[in-house]
Amino acid sequence: METIERIGSFASLPRYLELRGHRFALAPGMDLIQCRYEEDRLSALVAMRRARSRAGAEWLAIGLPICSVQSIQLRAALIANDELPIGGLAVTNGVVLVRQTLPLVGLLSSHLDHALATLVRTAAELAVAATRAATDPDVETAYRYLFR
């Protein structure tokens, strides 16, 4: 069975996803890959975008949607960023994302596997908290203070 030990560049991500059995869509010319990531009964939409540092190094920006920006208390998001096990919260086009960036040079596929699995679990926990806060404002959940 073919494997990829090191990711190394954004161009090698489609092969990595194929070998892991993930179906994906590559946006032409946009340096954006979207896929559905399945992990231990969890499923999440994952967007992966190429990013470059000022020095020209290639990075991978991973984002998973949580809720609409109207559902969150933005000041509380600053506190949550310090408490999340991975990544940070960001707002893009009115959607709150949990986001993480990783350097592509030298990135081991096992490290990307671990980062994706942890991001999916974190996004699921945040999405559940957002949904429960919307349906039952008095419920106590992890990160409850984030949501209106």
pLDDT, tens digit, 9 for 90 and up, residues 15-26: 999 998 888 998
- Annotate the chain with three-state secondary structure: CCCCCECCCHHHHHHHHHHCCCCEEEECCCCEEEEEEEECCEEEEEEEEEEECCCCCEEEEEEEEEEEHHHECHHHHHHHHHHCCCCEEEEECCEEEEEEEEECCCCEHHHHHHHHHHHHHHHHHHHHHHHHHHHCCCCCCCCHHHEC
Average pLDDT of span 142-148 = 86
pLDDT digits (tens, 9 = 90+) for 51-105: 999 999 999 999 999 999 999 998 999 888 899 999 999 999 999 999 999 999 9
pLDDT of residue 140: 85
Residue 63: inside a domain = yes
Question: Is residue 3 in some structural domain?
Answer: no
Q: What does the pLDDT look like over 51-60, one tens digit per residue?
A: 999 999 999 9
Q: Which domain holds residue 28?
A: 10-146
What CATH number does residue 42 fall under? 3.30.1460.10
- Reported as a single tens digit per residue, the pLDDT across 24-39 is 998 877 789 999 888 7
pTM confidence score: 0.90
Average pLDDT, whole number, for the chain? 90
Residue 15 lies in a domain: yes
Total count of domains within the chain: 1
The answer to whether position 46 is within a domain reads yes
